[in-house]
Structure 1
């Protein structure tokens, strides 16, 4: 089960972002930018971050841009959390030195996370066994094969005890907003979302849109055709006999295909598609529950509500409600000098966190300290 621990109020949380070769820049930015904006809106340093590489040398992102890290992994940083940033070819990017360093961080009881394909590194280090884990859908099959002890999920992100993993693209933004909301309250995470013109903060139950053709390849064209028919007919569901007839298979063959490759019955899979669509409509449109039920092929609202509750664990009317708990707020930094902040709390040889400079620049923004904590 997911748990959260209130953060210490006396000092900012310090995060280290370990950059693997060919990491995706959008995932790194999606993870760091919410931290910057949290500091800006709070008007004080709630979070501090450093980018890291093994030797401190620049690391090339998947788009060809190079990022010069703040520090090497052998520098003495008092990190609260380490997040591995992966991208293209994680199996080639992860080195023995990465694994040894991550295992050392785990021995120091630091929280660990990953974005995009960074979960591969944590799994290689044996640090995700038994943990619910998210990774970009392109790596799902390969990672399941390589690390059978990892509890992989197709969710956008997963927060399981002291592990937080997110798939690629903008999913790290949702993960960080959820973590910030746990630490400092929903009002702050909502304020960050507004600043980024982000319509909705997605939760842990939101799923990646994994192309079925990627899961099955080209070996099951009949099954792909059936699923395409289902997806095109959510408002007026097609009967299973009719579906079987359309693709020229028997009803029994149809059921065998679904059980073998999708591990459920055709009717269950069809229901999942309709309920997933209903969830999108509930969260992203002003449609009434009756309208949503009708648009997703349910003949009555009570039946829709019953199915929805059984599948998602909450009734449709509660789906639009957000739940957030406010942890004790951090103490302000008062008159601590910027020069002193820039030196960090890890000694005179520690690198300067860009969080300090970003916060100083933000003091001229109208949103500075606009969210009271």
Structure 2
């Protein structure tokens, strides 16, 4: 038998079991980044500290977003109270969140089971009412729609959040950070560090780290006043601020602000602001059932006709056609 790389203290006789519920069109990356640290923890400790099974509605098979098909171990059956349920979400999370799944989650939650949501599955937990009054996170692309629909949830921009027996992650490699925390809590920092080394994962994030790149990194420009203005824009999409006030807030003239945007981003401040608002509008149209008029208002457009004109100029379709195409796709 291979010698363990790390000695760990015994915590009970049975391995801690994870139930990975794979939703239709789930993201493989966030699932793989959750299951691999558990496998490696077993290997480097030389013991079966963790076990896992896959589950899903029907208990047959499910396809992830890249087309790979997974054979499931279980249907949505009753699990042990010491088990951990991890819902694995991906694209079209609204369609994948079925009534049967919601009822099962509510039943298991009443039994006191720890339940988590990876990637977009924070939406599923929120729909089940399991995040009411709790801190949570979800992939940044879904944050706007989540905020509109679940006002009772304290949404953060963290890479992962553990609030009592509810867990959420932002998706992607955030699952690694979450699992390293769980392993450290269960068996110590040394084992978690050894798992990270095996993964060649040198920058472990905590729940205090945010999921998106900094503005300078995102836009490829390191100019403090430009970054500051863009941050103000992103925080004020529902009630846009005029270029004159934006310039004043960072101690620039309107002309200086205009030159700054033209030089580094090849567009005017007004145009850049408009693109941010339209991006939010598209997310809301694709991810919520909000009316087109309410989407327009949420993105700072007081006139539906002006919103439709701007949207068509940018995306080459109207908001109504975007919503209709999405509805048709989800009904297939």
Give the TM-score, by structure 1 length.
0.57
The answer to which structure, 1 or 2, has the higher relative contact order (CA under 8 A, 6+ apart) is 1
Secondary structure of 1:38's aligned partner: helix
| 1:247 maps to 2:250 | no
Could you tell me which runs of 5 or more consecutive residues in structure 2 were left unpaired when the two chains were aligned.
1-8, 216-225, 234-247, 260-268, 277-332
| 1:104 maps to 2:114 | no
| 1:89 maps to 2:92 | yes
- Whether the 8 Å contact between 1:137 and 1:210 is mirrored in structure 2 is no
CA distance in 2, matches of 1:133, 1:229: 23
Aligned residue in 1 for 2:297: none
| 1:204 maps to 2:214 | no
Could you tell me which runs of 5 or more consecutive residues in structure 1 were left unpaired when the two chains were aligned.
1-5, 213-222, 231-237, 262-373
Measured at CA, do residues 7 and 138 of structure 1 come closer, stay the same or move farther in structure 2, by a change above 3 Å? farther
Aligned residue in 2 for 1:270: none
| 1:146 maps to 2:149 | yes
- Whether the 8 Å contact between 2:81 and 2:113 is mirrored in structure 1 is no
Measured at CA, do residues 107 and 16 of structure 1 come closer, stay the same or move farther in structure 2, by a change above 3 Å? same
| 1:193 maps to 2:196 | yes
Report Cα offsets for 1:201-244 as digits up to 9, x if no partner. 111111011688xxxxxxxxxx98932899xxxxxxx9822265
Report Cα offsets for 1:231-282 as digits up to 9, x if no partner. xxxxxxx982226542259xxxx9xxx9xx9xxxxxxxxxxxxxxxxxxxxx
Q: How far does residue 33 in structure 1 lie from its aligned partner after superposition?
A: 0.5
Aligned residue in 1 for 2:294: none
Secondary structure of 1:50's aligned partner: strand
- 1:163 counterpart (166, 181, 185): 166
Aligned residue in 2 for 1:176: 179
- Whether the 8 Å contact between 2:228 and 2:250 is mirrored in structure 1 is no
- 1:29 counterpart (12, 32, 37): 32
Give the TM-score, by structure 2 length.
0.64
CA distance in 2, matches of 1:243, 1:57: 63
CA distance in 2, matches of 1:246, 1:228: 18
Measured at CA, do residues 83 and 242 of structure 1 come closer, stay the same or move farther in structure 2, by a change above 3 Å? same
CA distance in 2, matches of 1:81, 1:110: 7
CA distance in 1, matches of 2:254, 2:151: 34
**Runs of 4+ residues over 4 Å off in structure 1:** 75-79
The aligned runs of 1:204-243 (5 Å cut-off) are 204-209=207-212, 226-227=229-230, 240-242=250-252
Q: How far does residue 54 in structure 1 lie from its aligned partner after superposition?
A: 1.2
Q: How far does residue 179 in structure 1 lie from its aligned partner after superposition?
A: 1.0
CA distance in 1, matches of 2:71, 2:43: 24
Q: Give the length in aligned residue pairs.
A: 231
Measured at CA, do residues 54 and 199 of structure 1 come closer, stay the same or move farther in structure 2, by a change above 3 Å? same
- Whether the 8 Å contact between 1:16 and 1:79 is mirrored in structure 2 is no
Secondary structure of 1:200's aligned partner: coil
Measured at CA, do residues 239 and 140 of structure 1 come closer, stay the same or move farther in structure 2, by a change above 3 Å? closer
Aligned residue in 1 for 2:72: 69
Q: CA RMSD in A?
A: 3.1
Secondary structure of 2:252's aligned partner: helix
The aligned runs of 1:1-373 (5 Å cut-off) are 8-74=11-77, 80-209=83-212, 226-227=229-230, 240-242=250-252, 244-247=254-257
More helix by share: 2
